[in-house]
Amino acid sequence: MALAQINPTVGAISKNSRKILSFIDKASRMDCDLVVFPELAITGYPPEDLLLKSRFITDNMKAIEDISRKVKGITALVGFVDRGRDGELYNSAAILHKGTIAGVCHKIHLPNYGVFDEQRYFKAGNLPMSFSLDGLKIGVGICEDLWFADGPARLQRLCGAHVIVNLNASPFDSGKLLRREELIGQRVRENKVAIIYNNLVGGQDELVFDGQGMVVDEHALVLARGKAFDEDLFVVDLDATGLKKTRRADKKERELLLTGLARSGVLNKVRLIRLSKEDRKKDKVAIPERARGMKLAAGEVLPEGRSFKEVNNSQGLESELELEDTLSALVLGTRDYAKKSGFKRCVIGLSGGIDSAIVAVIAAKALGAENVTGVFMPSRYSSKDSRVDAELIAKNLGIDYRDISITPTFNSYLQSLDRDFKGTESGVAEENLQARTRGNLIMALSNKFGWLVLTTGNKSEMAVGYATLYGDMAGGFAVIKDVPKLLVYRLSEYINIKAGSALIPERIITKPPTAELRPDQCDQDTLPPYEILDPILKAYVEDNQCVSEIVAMGFDRAVVKRIITMVDRSEYKRRQSPPGIKITTRAFGKDRRMPITNGYLHR
């Protein structure tokens, strides 16, 4: 078995097809019987309203037919969009064998929550499918089809399946890998089958797909793992004799269940396609070494009775793994957003603060230091330390550094507004005018040179509106939009540990955060300490808890109500912000869709 963990581009059907054929050829020359691709590999995931374009569907179907004619000496499972007789669309997997499409499996369980809108586009399938390859019965499912204990996998197993293959486009969030492994272990033990779980990899707008596919045998033993956040073609030999022996031992239990299910007619809905293995004529290549240094090495057993989270905690690993995966997701998401959108270079407003510093580190890792420009834009309120720290982070990373003062432009704005502002005290308007001056300058560089502007606002700021529209929110991609402030600090410390030096200068991490828009300004002049703010935001934004529930966690009621009010009133700002990478269980945007005009009062 080969798992082709590929990074397609949404909508690039021809490009994706060439990639698929390349991986099929490699798997065939590695003497594989079967190669499995991710969900919707032809179109990329999620294709969203491209699915409403009839020509797009036609092109995708032509592509799967063209690929099928070239598949010889191996069987391939490839995700694509199928169109029914009445024009309905199905999220599908094609079984490609001997130059034809031998069968098509339709996804049965369509997710419609969080970032998923599959019921907007697809009709649910109702026919679980298995195919027999040289006597080995293989059930086919797509992503969510594996989630349900009474789903397709159960029926396929009862009808004799030895292996369940699952094609996925499962986006990353912190802790997702652990939840997947718990789920796979549960399905293995329930059904006594091997599971081949292949996942998409790559960035697509706000989403990042982390790969990390796996092959688990009928004893929950991990046989192979795919790379994290990178393309991979990994191969494993399944013990067909052992699988068949397990199935025979399971015969009595299955017969009891089959008797009841046969009476209900449910089993008539499972379709079986019989295929035969083919002779291979291509020159073989050596199978590469599989050792990857994965999160959980191949050869370990998925634990029973306790979660992977508990296992990792007992080993003291969870925090490090979470930070490594989060950093990898941010780098991959930034790289793919830029490259797939046609940008070669980016520009960042370097303030000397921690948010812009970590975005600069991510950008340098994603695009190469030679393709990153950092611009320090001082005002009359900028400290000497900020300038020194901005220069130092740029030097440490080896990125292009520029210094453009906003003072002349800011003064000209004040002069233009002098008559209208006369008699008023300086306040938020003047502060935001500085941020908008910086936004204009950074966007001017973007327009002149075709650079992608990376904004530097974090999730805590985006939540409570501690950001300026058309100022520090101006840009093309918001790298840390879903990263809470406390996690920004933890990631920064982790970056330095990995680097073995203060790549991010120590003072940037230790000094109190400030926007430097007025004398002696500090974030905590306006906001509660982040140690209080971030847990309240998580409870309200990610966990949907109400005021009384959050107060019961030990927080002051007045503080909780104030923060919730700030979150609700800032929806109009977030709606106008650039897309950013999802790394938490509930990000602003597709995950959390609140009305801007909202009269609901939280109590």
Specify the residue for token string 């309203």: 49
Cα separation, 179 vs 171, in Å, equals: 12
Whether the Cβ atoms of residue 466 and residue 527 lie closer than 8 Å to each other = yes
The CA distances from residue 371 to 68, 230, 365, 452, 455, in Å, are 40, 21, 10, 10, 16
Whether the Cβ atoms of residue 500 and residue 380 lie closer than 8 Å to each other = no
Whether the Cβ atoms of residue 464 and residue 533 lie closer than 8 Å to each other = yes
Count Cα atoms within 13 angstroms, Cβ side, for 544: 7
If 0-12 CB within 10 Å is exposed, 13-18 middle and 19+ buried, where does residue 428 land? Answer: exposed
- 269 as an active site residue: the answer is no
Q: Please pick, among 39, 181, 218, 431, the residue that the annotation labels catalytic.
A: 39
Closest CA to 437 of 462, 405, 467: 405
**What are the DSSP calls for 239-298, one per residue?**
-HHHHHHHHHHTHHHHHHHHHHHHHHTGGGG-EEEEE------SPP-PPPP-----SS-T
Cα separation, 339 vs 345, in Å, equals: 9
Q: Where are the beta strands (DSSP E) in 443-567?
A: 452-455, 477-478
Cα separation, 235 vs 112, in Å, equals: 33
Whether the Cβ atoms of residue 585 and residue 175 lie closer than 8 Å to each other = yes
Angle at 289 between CA 134 and CA 140, to 5 degrees: 35
Whether the Cβ atoms of residue 550 and residue 174 lie closer than 8 Å to each other = no
- 522 as an active site residue: the answer is no
- SS3 string, 129-170, reads EEEEECCEEEEEEEHHHHCCCCCHHHHHHHCCCCEEEEEECC
Pairing of strands 214-216, 136-142: unpaired
The CA distances from residue 185 to 148, 158, 197, 225, 450, in Å, are 13, 18, 11, 14, 48
- 39 as an active site residue: the answer is yes
Whether the Cβ atoms of residue 181 and residue 146 lie closer than 8 Å to each other = no
289 Cβ neighbours under 8 A, 6+ residues apart: none
In this structure, the chain runs to a length of 603
If 0-12 CB within 10 Å is exposed, 13-18 middle and 19+ buried, where does residue 479 land? Answer: buried
Pairing of strands 201-204, 207-210: antiparallel
Q: Which one-letter amino acid corresponds to residue 550?
A: I
Q: Please pick, among 19, 32, 105, 107, the residue that the annotation labels catalytic.
A: 107
Q: Please pick, among 32, 143, 159, 346, the residue that the annotation labels catalytic.
A: 143
Active site residues per annotation? 39, 107, 143
